[in-house]
Chain A
Amino acid sequence: MEALTHLLHGFAAALSLNNLLFAFAGCMLGTLIGVLPGLGPAAGTAILIPLTFSLDATGAIIMLCAIYYGAMYGGTITSVLINVPGEAASVVTCIDGHQMARQGRAGSALGIAAIGSFVGGTLATVALVAVAMPLASLALKFGPAEFFALMVAGLCLVVGLAGSNMLAALLMTVIGLLLAMIGIDPVRGAPRFTFGAEELYDGIGFVPVVMGLFGIAELLLAAEKRQTHMISAELKTWLPTRQECRQSAGAIGRGTVVGFVLGLIPGVGAIVPTFMAYVLEKRVSKTPERFGKGAIEGVATAETANNAYANAAMVPLLALGIPSSPTIAVLMGAFIINGITPGPFLFTEQPALVWTVIASFFIGNLLLLILNLPLVGLWAKLLKVPFSYMCTGILIFCIIGAYGLKQSLFDVWMMLGFGILGYLLRKLDFPIAPAILALILGPMMEKSLRTTLEISGGSFAIFLDRPLALAMLVVPVIVIGVLIFKPRSLSPLRESDVE
């Protein structure tokens, strides 16, 4: 295969000392930035772009991509250890990851996250090599109608997150959707439900809300219990046990597929694949009640999906020059500044560059694994810091994170407000995850419906013309209908199947 030859050449170049160094530096810096709550890969990548000005084009790209993956992983660290999502996509990892940390299994959580990320990223890159161009063109067929259907399907998955109290979960979903409607509406382009506050024109800031609901709420709960440390349980293991790895194998596999497929579709964003992978895992599991209480599969699948998505998102970028998410748009800007214009002609015009970069994706994934597995112990040691300092320290960074996004103190207030809200909801046992999913999917859903109708001129018949969209709309609705009204009929053997 011609691609293979190119790839081998690419490896040769990528393994040069310089490029290795750039990849290494990128991973480290990215992880450090990712650890800072709220700043996230987009801001982190943007911040570090100037560093790459003095490098040659290949080196710069390698380093930037490494920063990107590193930042994704850095977000995992804070999610697991202190329940603060380092970046939006890490929200799902908080759910089970932090619970695992509370049980002394932070090492397993971080370890499986590293392993899952590596597997997901590597497999996604392999797939990228094999089918970048044809897949990219196929992904273009995914228009606003299909997007809308995907969002609806995603929302239906909420039922999978419901747990014991379906009513509460559905109510939280609705509230999440209502909050998502705040901002400039996609229909008229005019502010809706903003009551004159300019800061709300872009909607409720997702990052401050999530930092509040998860991170601040966690701190408030811990303070009330007068905890001396963030997590009192002793760290039992530094790495996942063999059994845990076996448990997670399936999760990793499924996470890779979900992450990869969704990564090919421009505009999906990192949170959607992680949520979907998580919900899928919970549905497929024989013991779904463990989810939310420290199920390692939850962490494994979310992290794998996240990284598979990140690598797959390179396909639309490299093959078509279309950035899938704001972070990738920043990456693309960096590419352009360095004189590289991603697009279909990139593969033919600068094959050496592209394949070197792709080769360095493999290397970057491996480096992340090598770097982070030993460091798990180090990160976990952070938990030994007394609560008084830990709490204050986390708050300092949360303030910076919330403020730094848009230089807005309003966002800091939002974070505080949602922090208190999150505290109350946690105490009262209301599930927060469905609201978060709704907050993300809601705007995308409404906007894509609007765009679909603009394209069809107001006719809903467009859905009849597009079988994929129709299927994605109808199937989940049927599935949840069945699940809501006959939850037991689908898993009659659940009780007796306990391992």
Chain B
Amino acid sequence: MLIRRRTLLTASAAATIASPALAQNYPRKAVQLIVAFPAGGSTDVGARILAAAAEKDLGQPITVVNKGGAGGQLGFTEIARARPDGYTLGFLNLPGLNTIILDPERKAAFNIDSFIPIVNQVLDPGLIWVKGDSPYKTLADLIDAAKKAPGKISACTTGILSDDHLAILMVQEAAKCEFRIVHFDGGAQQLTGVMGGHVDCAFDNVGSVFKRVQSGEVRGLAVTDVERSKFLPNVPCTKELGMATVISSSTRGVGAPKGTPADVIKVVETAFLKAIESPEMKQKMDAVGLALKPMAGATYAKYYADTQALAKKYTEWALKQR
């Protein structure tokens, strides 16, 4: 990381000279950003891009620390237990964080109040897709088939209690149909499963497969959001298809452990927000198909609480089926 070190040293030097606004003593030294997933994954990539951009505005180096394992639980625990002095921040993945808290067997060492949501970066909406040459041309086709043969049409997720899993439950509730739910471990397995003809459809996120939808290799049936994805303008969203309750996405943002002082939070919020709204960030995120949805302050706090409530309903449903 020799390259990055040099850039950030120059950047922080420039920042400290240029911004007298950092009159309060924070930050005096490097800040850690804990990412609960392994290096190289999509969460990590987004986090690193954000950290590199926000460094300039924060005025201090931001070191990304990967603490992967147990689907994020180890990392989230680390964030919750960190000293609330503003020098340890965390990358919060919703609804991953929520389902871990809501699953009693996971015995999470944290709950929803253990974190202060500061600013959101990415909102990756869910996408229902099938093989490119599949007989299902629209979501209605798929649901019809599921109604005619309850429990026979298979839909796969990227993991038990993932946002994909919850999305399937939402569709089942809204359309009054029943799928045969198959759980894979990640997007690569989903691809093999659907392209190999072993499963009928897949619930995943736009960022993971948007290039394949664009190329025609797979067909996107619906985006589970209130609006269409700008990466997939030809794929309808669930709201316009009449299923306004099927709203599911994976969001990633920055948070801090409970107890971090409000003025520190403000500084962090300003710096990261600036980075997220910058054109370079937009460009980088567009390249990987991740939609930016900056939310900060009260907006993010509300989204955070709402997601927990929504996740609670469907997670409990999923847990009952255990």
Q: B-contacting residues of A (Cβ < 8 Å)?
A: 43, 46, 49-50, 53-54, 140-144, 184, 186, 188-191, 196, 198-199, 201-202, 266-267, 320-323, 329-330, 333-334, 336-337, 339, 341, 343-345, 406-408, 447, 450-451, 454-455, 457
Contact = CB atoms under 8 A, between A and B. Distances in A.
B4 interface: yes
Nearest to B199: A455
Given A189-B160, A198-B77, A199-B69, A46 B40 contact: yes
A407 B66 contact: yes
Contact of B322 (A188, A341, A457): A188
A27 to B, nearest CB: 21
B117 to A, nearest CB: 23
Contacts of B322: 188-190
Contacts of B40: 46, 49, 329-330, 333-334
Nearest to A326: B38
A454 B195 contact: no
Given A143-B198, A344-B217, 10 more contacts: A140-B196, A188-B160, A191-B105, A196-B107, A266-B188, A266-B192, A321-B212, A322-B188, A406-B69, A457-B151
A454 B155 CA distance: 10
A345 B215 contact: yes
B184 to A, nearest CB: 7
15 contacts: A43-B39, A140-B195, A141-B196, A143-B196, A189-B161, A190-B106, A198-B69, A267-B189, A320-B195, A321-B191, A321-B212, A322-B188, A323-B188, A329-B40, A451-B183
B103 interface: yes
B70 interface: yes
A186 B288 CA distance: 30
Given A407-B65, A451-B182, A454-B181, A198 B73 contact: yes
Contacts of A341: 211
Interface residues of B, number: 52
Considering the complex of A and B, which 5 residue pairs feature the smallest CB-CB distances, nearest first? A189-B160, A201-B70, A140-B196, A190-B105, A143-B198
Contacts of B242: none
Nearest to B185: A447
B68 interface: yes
Contacts of A457: 151-152, 180
Given A142-B196, A406-B67, A191 B217 contact: no
B69 A336 contact: no
Contact of B41 (A144, A333, A455): A333
Contacts, number: 120
B140 interface: no
A201 B67 CA distance: 14
Given A46-B40, A49-B40, A345 B217 contact: yes
A191 B42 CA distance: 25
Contacts of B107: 191, 196, 198
A455 B201 CA distance: 12
Given A199-B69, A455-B198, A143 B193 contact: yes
Given A188-B105, A190-B103, A337-B45, A343 B180 contact: no
A246 to B, nearest CB: 40
Contact of B74 (A184, A199, A336): A199
B18 interface: no
A406 B71 CA distance: 13
B3 A201 contact: no
Contact of A201 (B69, B154, B180, B183): B69
A196 B193 CA distance: 33
Contacts of A189: 103, 159-161, 183, 322
A323 B42 CA distance: 14
Contacts of A54: 3
Count chain A CB atoms within 10 A of each CB in B159, B180, B188, B215 and give the residue with the most.
B188
Contacts of A140: 192, 195-197
B211 to A, nearest CB: 5
B105 to A, nearest CB: 4
B23 interface: no
Interface string B104-121: 011101000000000000
A343 B1 CA distance: 29
B21 interface: no
A188 B184 CA distance: 13
A198 B70 contact: yes
B17 interface: no
Contacts of B212: 321, 343
